[in-house]
Amino acid sequence: MRSPQYRVEVKTSQKALKIDQEIIDSLKKSLSSKMIAKMKKEYVECPVAGQAISFLMCYNCVSFIRRVQGVVDCEGREFRIKNSLN
């Protein structure tokens, strides 16, 4: 079982952060359009990347473990987007 190195709070912004369309398309298989639209306006201060990133990118990162009550558990190994082919 993976253990979290970081616990990061999910924050909400007024405007949606930019994110690649291919990431959104890959998430449409598992999430509803309404959920994706809501998550586009959420972001986290990523300790691994060292900057604010969209929650959808965090959700699709290899270090993402889970999100519970607005807090993300992050493994903290590396910031890399999962393969969209899988």
Within a domain: residue 80? no
Distances in Å between the Cα of 6 and the Cα atoms of 24, 34, 38, 83 are: 25, 28, 24, 23
Domain count, the chain: 1
Give the chain's mean pLDDT: 91
pTM of the model: 0.87
**Residue 46's pLDDT band (cuts 50, 70, 90):** very high
Boundaries of domain holding 29: 6-74
Whether 85 has a pLDDT exceeding 90, the answer reads no
Within a domain: residue 32? yes
Q: Which helix (H) or strand (E) holds 21?
A: helix 21-27
Whether 24 has a pLDDT exceeding 70, the answer reads yes
Residue of 77 and 85 predicted with greater confidence: 77
61-71 mean pLDDT = 95
